[in-house]
Every structure is written in structure tokens, then in C-alpha cells.
Structure 1
Amino acid sequence: MTDFQIHTVHSAPQEAQQALAVLNDAFGFVPNGAGLMANSPTLLNTFLSAFGHFRGNGTFSPAERQVLLLSNAVANTCAWAVAFHSLEALADGVDPDTVQALRRGDLPADPRTAALSSLTRALIASRGHLHHTQVAAFLAAGFTQSQLFEVVTGAAISTMTNYAANLAQPPLEGPVQAHAWTRAHLSDV
């Protein structure tokens, strides 16, 4: 691990301070992944803009968004993001059994939730080269073509945070520590 500064609102470069303030207001703390990304105001501000559109204008419910983001974090084996999105998923009403299944790399029991998790994981694994049967299964679960492209947005957001956190391995924040995760949690390890 390389030693990267995890910024606060006050220590961040001026161009990143407003973004960190927004995140601090939203979560009650600056997530370490965001404090890390503040080393590049371009990265942090791009992330915040994309996430704002994904959250504010997207059609996934809060629970579906967290299923998607947690599935992505596991697919990218990002320990910080898995822990963070486990906390957020539970706060947004995702069933604890579903959270545990996703953390193991398994599909949830609910068919619609499983279709969302399966598609986003396949999108990451195939670098966007989905088979038509994967798209058909997603649509058959009640999702729309527009939501297929929202999954791309979620994967892009996850790539920014997951790759930055994989690069620097930030510590878990106090509220996130109870959800610590490693690759050893995966059922196929």
C-alpha cells in the first residue's frame, strides 16, 4: 500500500472542498474513499456529479442502487467499498440475508434483485460485452432498457471509488468497521 492522504473538508485542495462538504452533509462524515479521491479534485468532482445524477435522476430505488453498488464492490474485490455499501444497503432497507449473499458473491434469493446483481457483475466481468441472454434476463425481471444503461452508470461510479480504494486501501470509518470484508468472505474462495 502506498501512503495517500485521506482529506477532510479542511485539508482538501480548494477545488475538492465543496464536494467533501456535500458528502459530509449526506453521510454525517466524509467517507474515506471520498477523502482519498480528493487527492484529485477532477476525480472527486466527476464522481460526485455522476453519483448525483445516478441517485437524484435515476430510476432504481435506494435499495436497488445499493444492491448494484454492493455487487460492483464485491466484483471489484474492494474491501472498503464492500464494507461501506453493506452499511448503506442495510440503511436503505436491503434485507440482511440479501446483503450477506452479495458479500459472499452469491445471488440473492429474490429473482428481481438477483437479476440486477447478476447483470451488473456480468457487465464488469465482460467489460461491457454482455450476451443477449443476460440482457433478456434483466429485462424479463421487470427492468427497462433505460435501466440497463443506468447499470453502466453504476459500474462507472463504482470503478472510480473501487479502483481508488483498491489502490490506496483506506481504513474503515468508525460506522463502517462492523462491516469489514475480505476476499475470504467469498463463497468460491
Structure 2
Amino acid sequence: MTMNFTVYNLETAPEESKPALNGLKEAFGIVPNVAGAMAESPVLLNSLAALFKNVHGGSFTEHQIQVLLLTNAVTNAAEWAVGFHSFLALQQGIPATDVEKIRNGGLPADASDAALSRLARTLISSKGRIAESDVEQFLQAGFDKRHLLEVVAVVAASTITNYTVSVTRPPLESPFDQHAWVKG
């Protein structure tokens, strides 16, 4: 049995989900389809919105956050999220060659971006059980313990999105179609 999920908008969403959808619309200029699908559960959507606000108000630049979010989407094979974050990564000035490297499971050329991407991928693939050598490699790239823990927060935010994508399968919005991705 296939379960279809409604992709709500600002008019049709449950009342408890509307404030979070409004906040996401302010951030992106649209209500992302995955957020519209999340609106079915105000608990899920409001949890993501709070975490999203904290992540984007932390010590990472938007460029760095997009490196992390794109890496996480690829690592979790979340097709919608890969398309969406490929678009946002390019908007944040991440070179197209680096976006393609991440989309193909590789690392960006920039050493700092590569350290972020490597740590995020390792956190996800090891289910959070990283080795001391992973921590040391990340710290030697110029990051500190605060950054290490913020990567955990970014991974948590993207895991909510990536898992919701897997469960609800929202359509990719037309502005992101050229960045569509299929695990392969």
C-alpha cells in the first residue's frame, strides 16, 4: 500500500503549522515542498523550524551550512534534498565543480569545505560513532570543538528533512528541476 502525503501550503496547512511555514517562506521565498509535507505533523515541522533557526544563527557561514546540508542529503540518499541544496549551494558561491563532487560522493577542493563534508559524511555513516582520528582531522583543518558540535546540529536538522523526504516523497519544485538527483 502506497501512502500519499499532502503537500500543504500556507492556506491549507493545519493552524499549528502555519507559523513555521511562514518562517520558512521568509527564509526561502517559497514554502519548500518538504515543509509542506511536514505540516501534517506540527510537532515535526515546529521542531525543524526551531533547529533550522539555531543552525542558521550559529557560527557557520551559509556557504559552510550548504556544504554540510548537501553532503548530508547525498549521504542519506534524499533525492529532493540533493536537488534543493545543490541549487542553494550554487547560490552561496560553492563552485559548480565542488557541488558535482559532493553530489557524486566526493569532497570539495577547498580544504575547509572538505573537512566539513568529510565529518558530516562520517557522522552519518557511522551513526555518530566517529573515531578520535576523525575529530583530530577536523580540528586540524582549523575548526574547534564548538564547530564539531554545531556539525551535529546541522546533521540533526538535515536528518529531519532527509528522512521526511524518504517517507513523504514530495515533488521537487520546478526552480530546482535542473538539479534533480537520483541515487545511482
SS in 2 for 1:177: helix
Equivalent residues in 2 for 1:155-174, closer than 5 Å = 155-174=155-174
Which runs of no fewer than 5 residues in structure 1 stay unpaired? 185-189
- Determine the structure 1 residue equivalent to 2:9: 8
Give the Cα–Cα distance (whole angstroms) in 1 for the partners of residues 112 and 28 of structure 2: 28
- Determine the structure 2 residue equivalent to 1:143: 143
Give the Cα–Cα distance (whole angstroms) in 2 for the partners of residues 48 and 168 of structure 1: 18
Give the Cα–Cα distance (whole angstroms) in 1 for the partners of residues 80 and 71 of structure 2: 13
Q: Using the TM superposition, give the Cα deviation of residue 180 of structure 1 relative to its aligned residue in structure 2, in angstroms.
A: 0.1
State, as a whole percentage, how many aligned pairs show the same letter: 46
Give the Cα–Cα distance (whole angstroms) in 1 for the partners of residues 143 and 79 of structure 2: 29
- Determine the structure 2 residue equivalent to 1:187: none
- Determine the structure 2 residue equivalent to 1:33: 34
Give the Cα–Cα distance (whole angstroms) in 2 for the partners of residues 2 and 63 of structure 1: 36
Extract structure 1 runs of 4+ deviating beyond 2 A. none
Q: Using the TM superposition, give the Cα deviation of residue 175 of structure 1 relative to its aligned residue in structure 2, in angstroms.
A: 1.0
- Determine the structure 1 residue equivalent to 2:153: 153
- Determine the structure 1 residue equivalent to 2:61: 61
Listed one character per residue, the Cα deviations across residues 36-73 of structure 1 (whole Å, up to 9, x for unaligned) are 111100000000000101101x1111110000000000
- Determine the structure 1 residue equivalent to 2:51: 50
SS in 1 for 2:6: coil
- Determine the structure 1 residue equivalent to 2:25: 24
- Determine the structure 1 residue equivalent to 2:109: 109
Number of equivalences: 183
- Determine the structure 2 residue equivalent to 1:175: 175
SS in 2 for 1:72: helix
Pair 1:84-2:84 in alignment: yes
* TM-score, L = length of structure 1: 0.95
Listed one character per residue, the Cα deviations across residues 153-184 of structure 1 (whole Å, up to 9, x for unaligned) are 01110111000101111111011111000112
Pair 1:94-2:58 in alignment: no
Q: Using the TM superposition, give the Cα deviation of residue 142 of structure 1 relative to its aligned residue in structure 2, in angstroms.
A: 0.5
Q: Using the TM superposition, give the Cα deviation of residue 2 of structure 1 relative to its aligned residue in structure 2, in angstroms.
A: 2.3
SS in 2 for 1:157: helix
- Aligned residue type for 1:6: V
Give the Cα–Cα distance (whole angstroms) in 2 for the partners of residues 183 and 81 of structure 1: 12
Listed one character per residue, the Cα deviations across residues 136-166 of structure 1 (whole Å, up to 9, x for unaligned) are 0100000110010001001110111000101
- Aligned residue type for 2:117: S
- Aligned residue type for 1:81: A
